[in-house]
Amino acid sequence: MSRIDARFVELAARERTGLIPFFTAGDPSPEAVVPVMHALVEAGADLIELGVPFSDPMADGPVIQHASERALAKGVGLARIFDWVREFRLRDTATPVVLMGYMNPVEIHGAARFAADAVAAGVDGVLLVDCPVEEIAAAAPLRDAGLAQIFLAAPTTTGERLARVCAAARGFLYYVSFAGITGADRLSTGDVRERVAAIRRQASTPVAVGFGVRDAASAAAIGEFADAVVIGSALVERLAGAAHADEAAERARAFLSPIRAALDRRT
Amino acid sequence: MQRIEDYSMYPDARGRFGDYGGSFVAETLIAPLAELDAAYRRLRTDTAFIAEFERDLKYYVGRPSPIYHAERLSREVGGAQILLKREDLNHTGAHKINNTIGQALVARHMGKRRIIAETGAGQHGVATATVCARFGLGCVVYMGATDIERQKINVYRMKLLGAEVVPVTSGSKTLKDALNEAMRDWVTNVADTFYIIGTVAGPHPYPQMVRDFNAVVGREARAQMLEQYGRLPDVITACVGGGSNAIGLFHAFLNDRDVRIVGAEAAGEGIATGHHAASLAAGRPGVLHGNRTYVLCDDDGQITETHSVSAGLDYPGVGPEHAFLKDSGRADYVGVTDDEALAAFHRLARSEGILAALESSHAVAQAIKLARELPHDRLVLCNLSGRGDKDVHTIAAREGISL
């Protein structure tokens, strides 16, 4: 069983809502990446989404755009990201790591080479924001290498397409809670609850919900019905400007702990 | 190299031109793109819609645009005859209006009242603001902060036409970032908003739709050639940034195998210097702005900043149909430097009394190169895609003249 599947089985057995923090690899600093990953796990993360910075992040709001720009300015690229995952794996072989980013770096690296490098480093899944199920062929080498390709479902994903997305999903399905960009403030829990219930009836994977989750309260509200909660922009915002790796790790821990506690109070 | 039998068959139903094109967009955009594709599929064969479009092209844009024989220029060059397809004579001064009229009509049929657009030099922004005023639609134009600084007159022009111009401060603050920002707006406001993309790039169906609306250029030109000269040209050429005026001219000639097709990309300060925007001549296949195409990027897949004296060619990608034409060998794409384009600008101004846009000056430079190699009885048709009034300040500044 893959690390992602094992983690969700374990969560279900413990009746615990999964907590998936996202941050951009290389921001606030290259030195902070691995310490922040460990700090997030210590504070209750069940899976880590690591953002691969891209020069043209079309689906991201200003917070993640700027984090990408800062990381790129520090020369962050795929080779270093794989190194960080490898280093993380020295101490943590249980927490799944998903890379989230855009197609072009994968295409330029070569999808097969990317997949081999990712697997060797200890990456478990890949979410390519601009690779919808229609373009699944472009990412075939990733799945062939054993990486879980995570797909997004949006409020506008319905009917036959939803069935296709559910069928293609591996690891978990990432439900985008509203039509918009990351970090926007448009979350309506009632609508999301209904849609997630409909998707869970069709999906064979767990359903995680992201976009617009900012704090313990919104995470707990989503956690009432989702298998996992993804929280990104608010964490990236909190990490920004940390002076050194220890401070970034401390901020990550302080940010995530109350969210973990709020999710656990529910159960 | 794969032999293509019929170029009019592309794109396929998935929006593919061979390996290129497609819909590489976030999940949230799939539904609105499918809605647009369905609407456009219906409208493109609807006789009432076509009549509406053609009426506006005739009475509002002023089509057909003539083919003009640049006799003095041809004599000076001393080779083949250079013919200019005068898209610069259209309302708003460029080919861009063909596309914005078409898309605004599609928006109206879809019941969308709010229009957004991206613009680099401001030409597409002006053409969009123009048709929004004409059709009474709300208009928001995204423009890189750097470009706003460089193109103040076009910014003011858009405002005069009632558009709101939103500065984009992310990334390199130029056209590609304006496109990202317009996409973000669209994702957020899909219910009432129509996104008028200004070139043959973006996700399906944009490369097809923008091509179809500009294809009037080549259709007219082909008929005019037969009427005025009794034959087709030997070579056709146009400048290629995103590639909308070029595909507009090329498309009607793709199945005419005897007509050679050459696209002129912006080689900036020279391809070897790295300061250029020649995606086809110097880039590699990748994915940008919703489609697979040739892109300019580093070894890690990060899109690189481009350079061209002409803001309209300053784009790190190119329409996927051009990528397809390059790989299939149907068209050649070559670089024209800033200096060569400027020299052609002056030469055309002095020999023919025409101020060409800096973008179009790349095509003129290429036409001159092609003509020089051919005998007098050959015909080189060049798309003069826009007029140069907008560039007068840029040219003066570059040549150290204060106005």
List pLDDT tens digits, range A152-161. Answer: 999 889 889 9
- Report the C-alpha gap between B19 and B28 in whole angstroms: 24
Residues B231 and B161 sit within 8 Å (Cβ to Cβ): no
In CATH, what number does B24-58+96-206 get? Answer: 3.40.50.1100
Please tell me which residue of chain B has the smallest CA distance to A54: B302
Q: Is residue A220 part of a domain?
A: yes
In a domain, A169, yes or no: no
DSSP letter for A44, please: T
pLDDT band per the 50, 70, 90 thresholds, residue A178? confident
Phi, psi angles (nearest 5°) of residue A211: 80, 115
Query: What are A223's two structure tokens?
Result: 């956690």
Asked if pLDDT for residue A180 goes beyond 80, the answer is no
The CATH number for A67's domain is: 3.20.20.70
A121 Cα to chain B: minimum distance (Å): 17
Q: What pLDDT score does A266 carry?
A: 66
> What single-letter DSSP state applies at residue B4?
P
Query: Coil, strand or helix: which one is B20?
Result: strand
Residue B301 and residue A109: Cβ atoms within 8 Å? yes
- State how far the Cα of B233 lies from the Cα of B367, in Å rounded to an integer: 12
Range of the domain at A34: 3-150+214-261
A58, A104, A152 member nearest B301 (Cβ) = A104
First CA to last CA distance, chain B: 52
Is A92 catalytic? The answer is no
Give dist(CA A236, CA A231) in Å, integer.
9
| Residue showing tokens 């490098």 | A117
Which pLDDT score is estimated for B151? 85
Interface of A with B in 199-258 (CB under 8 A): none
| Parts of chain B with a pLDDT under 50 | none
Contact B71, B371 (CB under 8 A): no
Distance CA B64, CA B57 (A): 8
Specify the CATH number for B64-93+215-399; select among 3.30.70.60, 3.40.50.1100, 3.40.50.300, 3.30.420.10.
3.40.50.1100
Instruction: Report the pLDDT value the prediction gives residue B1, as an integer from 0 to 100.
Output: 57
Q: What is the DSSP letter of B18?
A: T
Q: A200 near A221, Cβ under 8 Å?
A: no
Residue A189: pLDDT over 90: no
- Both tokens of residue B379? 């015909």
pTM flag (> 0.90): yes
Give domain limits for chain B: 24-58+96-206, 64-93+215-399
CA distances (Å), B19 to each of A139, B187, B211, B234, B251, in order?
14, 26, 18, 29, 18
Give dist(CA B303, CA B18) in Å, integer.
23
Identical fold between B24-58+96-206 and B64-93+215-399: yes
CA distances from B54 to B136, B243, B318, B393 (A): 19, 22, 27, 34
Contact B23 A154 (CB under 8 A): no
* Strand duo B16-17 + B20-21: pairing: antiparallel
* Structure-token match 């003249």, residue found: B401
**What is the gyration radius of the CA atoms in chain A, in angstroms?**
17
Which three-class secondary structure state does DSSP give residue B96? Answer: helix
pLDDT score, position A63: 93
Of A46, A49, A117, A124, catalytic: A49
Q: How far apart are CA B317 and CA A66, in angstroms?
A: 22
Q: Which has the minimum average pLDDT: A80-84, A263-267, B263-267? A: A263-267
Residue from B300, B303, B305, B315 whose CB has the most chain A CBs within 10 Å, to mutate: B300
Output the pLDDT for position B377: 98
Residue B167 token pair = 């500065």
- For the question of residue A49 being annotated catalytic, the response is yes
Whether the predicted pLDDT of A187 surpasses 80: no
**Residue A11 · residue A18 · CB < 8 Å:** yes
Number of separate domains in chain A = 1
The answer on pLDDT for A186 being more than 80 is no
B261 φ/ψ angles, rounded to the nearest 5 degrees: -120, 125
Q: Is residue A58 part of a domain?
A: yes
Query: Left if phi > 0, otherwise alpha if psi is -120 to 50, otherwise beta: which for A15?
Result: left
Whether B90 contacts B63, CB under 8 Å: yes
Q: Do A58 and B26 touch (CB under 8 A)?
A: yes
Helix (H) or strand (E) segment spanning residue B131: helix B123-135
Query: How are beta strands A97-101 and B20-21 bridged, if at all?
Result: unpaired
A45-57 pLDDT, tens digit per residue, is 999 999 999 999 9
Does A166 contact chain B (CB < 8 Å)? no
What pLDDT is recorded for position B149? 86
Both tokens of B142, joined, read 């995204």
Cβ distance B287 to A103 less than 8 Å, yes or no, reads: yes
d(CA A125, CA B161): 49
Residue found under tokens 């169906």: B205
> What is the four-CA torsion angle of A7, A8, A12, A13, rounded to 10 degrees?
-30
Helix (H/G/I), strand (E/B), else coil: A30 = helix
* Residues B95, B124: Cα–Cα separation, whole Å: 9
Q: Which two tokens stand for residue B303?
A: 């899109």
Q: Work out the average pLDDT over A154-183.
A: 90
Q: What's the pLDDT at A235?
A: 97
Cβ contact (<8 Å) for B170 and A103? no
| A158 within domain boundaries | no
Q: For a pLDDT cut of 90, what percent of chain A falls above it?
A: 88
Residue A160 lies in a domain: no
Give dist(CA B166, CA B143) in Å, integer.
6
Which residue type occupies A75? G
**Domain-embedded: residue A207:** no
Instruction: Give all strands of the β-sheet with B193-196 in edge-to-edge order.
Output: B164-168, B138-144, B114-119, B193-196
Alpha-carbon distance A147 to B295, whole Å? 27
Cis status of the peptide bond prior to B205, with omega within 30 of 0: yes
Cβ-based neighbours of B129, under 8 Å, separated by 6 or more: B139, B141, B157, B158, B161, B162, B163
Residues of B in contact with A108 (CB under 8 A): 284, 286, 297, 299-301
Annotate B39-51 with DSSP letters as a single string. HHHHHTT-HHHHH
- Number of residues written out for chain A: 267
